[in-house]
Amino acid sequence: MCGRYAASFAPDDLLQDFDIEQDRSDERSRSLLVAPQDPPVGAPDWNVAPSKQAPVVLTRAPRDEPGATPLRQLRLLTWGLVPSWAKNPKIGLRMINARSETLLDKGAYRNAALARRCLVPADGWYEWQASPTVTDRKGKPRKQPFFIHRADGQSVAFAGVYEFWRDKSADEGDPNAWVVSYTIVTTAAEPGMDRIHDRQPVVLDRDQWASWLDPTLTEPDDVRALLEPRALGRFEAWPVGKAVGSSRNNGPALLEPAPRSDLEGVVDPMTGEVLS
């Protein structure tokens, strides 16, 4: 967790909702994908997977204007944080999530958590529930994908941190010299959602967005305070089809509830009932 999420919007759709002051979604940094991204970078994507580039909101002073006031920007960054000291950017595949409990202790995340925080807009996220009663052909617990989102219909904003990595073998002016990447901060799943998985993303409420993006907020205790659990009952979830398990599949159909007949051994997250 979190290994897949839905972002069914174009960058332009986020400008007003997230109070964007500078749209830089037309800028590109180096992609870590071997094949072209599908759907294309910046297009609606119902199955965002690690190494894809996706919309991220951050507050940063324009690089070409020394001393300028930091602006809330919209950018397209790579999912899977690549630390600035990494020898190979492929390390990002192992760093798609950062645990909130150790975010400020681990060297790979600490500096970013204090200076480079971001919001990751989403419709919601997918998680896989291991059945307590039914096994697959290999004798392992059958896994059922769920889609989870805010019950109040508000925009989902994951807490994230981002980082810059430079390929020192590339020329100074080469646009592919830089990988700009992010990770999603996770925490213990709240009651009910923990029947699906024991972890979930840190979803920040709208009244927390400005503080999380504030570059002057640099005290570890202040950052930790923003990661504290919020009111229970913010989320709802339903089982979806197994098509989401392949990153080649996409489209709004991925969010449709799975037929009851397909839900053998699935636990209802709200009631704890095992469906058979």
Catalytic site residues?
A: 2, 127
Q: Is 203 helix (H, G, I), strand (E, B) or coil?
A: strand
Classify burial at 218, counting beta carbons within 10 Å of its beta carbon; exposed 0-12, middle 13-18, buried 19 or more. Answer: exposed
Which residue matches tokens 């690089």?
A: 63
Torsion sign over Cα 204, 220, 69, 162 = negative
Q: What is the 3-state secondary structure (H, E, C) of 129-197?
A: EEEEEEECCCCCEEEEEEEEEECCCCCEEEEEEEEEEECCCCCCCCHHHEEEEEEEEEEECCCCHHHCC
Cβ proximity of 54 and 120 under 8 Å:
yes
Cα–Cα nearest to 128, from 265, 252, 271:
265
In contact, 167 and 176? CB cutoff 8 Å: yes
Q: Is the separation of the CB atoms in 73 and 21 below 8 Å?
A: yes
Q: Residue 213: what residue type?
A: L
Buried b (16+ CB within 10 A) or exposed e, 219-237: eeeebeebbeeeeeebbbb
